[in-house]
Amino acid sequence: MVSWFRSPRPRAPLPRLRSRSSHVVATKVDFAELAPDTSSYLGLVAYLQLGFFQSISMVSAISDLAAKETLSTAAGFALAKHHGVVAEIRRRGEDPTEVMAPYVSRVDDFLTLTRGASVNENLLSIYITQGFLDDFFIRLSDGLPHDQGARYASLLGADSGAAGIVSLLTDAIGVDPKRAHFLAMCGRRLLGDTLLLAQSALVLDGHSESDDARIEPVFTELIATHTRRMDALGLTA
């Protein structure tokens, strides 16, 4: 069994959500039980979408005109998801700024870690991290009260403009096939950072074996989807 708690390279620990161990039934293998409370979920997701919006906007700013069209559209999609989640926070009578505040440094660190040195690395980062994390938070919404979880999943499942980004990356690799090896390597590093951010959203009971048993099937499936994302670029995962 792969343990998701052992990082492939040393790094500073990410802050954890507060435990809700009283809710966890140790014998039941159920990923949904690892979901945080609704406010924490929405705060992290809202600020993460704002972060994706910022990252995509920044790549757009340094891209050529044709790519700007694709990227400004993708930025708009991330912003719409952010605003959708903010509306859900307000609907609960909570203040979006307060609810997002605990996740600012964690998400900012994640975005800094996953920022690339070139336009193509940044495009790959957006495609890989956003694709994985949207899927992850859709899965995690199963652990929230049913009607709410379904609404959040629907919000996050909306188009993110990934097809346009795939097209830009495929063109870039076509122009210079040497980029493929480097981007494949970047993809593996991005997966590692993304898994750690995803894990940080889970409320774990601290027993790594029982946590692993809950997490593994879902992460295995999300990683398979990640592999298909890399395949779509002609890259080895």
Minimum distance from CB of 73 to a copy of itself (Å)?
7
| CB-based burial label for 51 (10 Å; 0-12, 13-18, 19+) | buried
* Near a copy of itself by CB under 8 A: residue from 7, 29, 76, 182: 76
E strand or H helix at 57, and its extent? helix 38-61
Indicate the DSSP class of residue 15: P
* Near a copy of itself by CB under 8 A: residue from 72, 208, 210, 227: 72
* Near a copy of itself by CB under 8 A: residue from 7, 39, 54, 236: 54
Whole-angstrom distance, CA of residue 2 vs CA of residue 10: 17
Q: Please identify, using beta-carbon distances, which residue of 81 and 139 lies nearer to a copy of itself.
A: 81
* Near a copy of itself by CB under 8 A: residue from 86, 197, 198, 204: 86
101 binds a copy of itself (CB under 8 A): yes
Contact between residue 143 and residue 34 where contact means Cβ atoms under 8 Å apart: yes
Q: Please identify, using beta-carbon distances, which residue of 12 and 65 lies nearer to a copy of itself.
A: 65
Compute φ and ψ for 215, nearest 5 degrees: -80, -40
How would you classify residue 184: left for phi > 0, otherwise alpha for psi between -120 and 50, otherwise beta? Answer: alpha
Whole-angstrom distance, CA of residue 192 vs CA of residue 129: 10
43 binds a copy of itself (CB under 8 A): no
Q: Please identify, using beta-carbon distances, which residue of 57 and 227 lies nearer to a copy of itself.
A: 57
Q: Which residues bind a copy of itself (CB under 8 A)?
A: 47, 50, 53-54, 57-58, 60-61, 65-66, 68-69, 72-73, 75-76, 79-80, 82-83, 86, 96-97, 100-101, 104
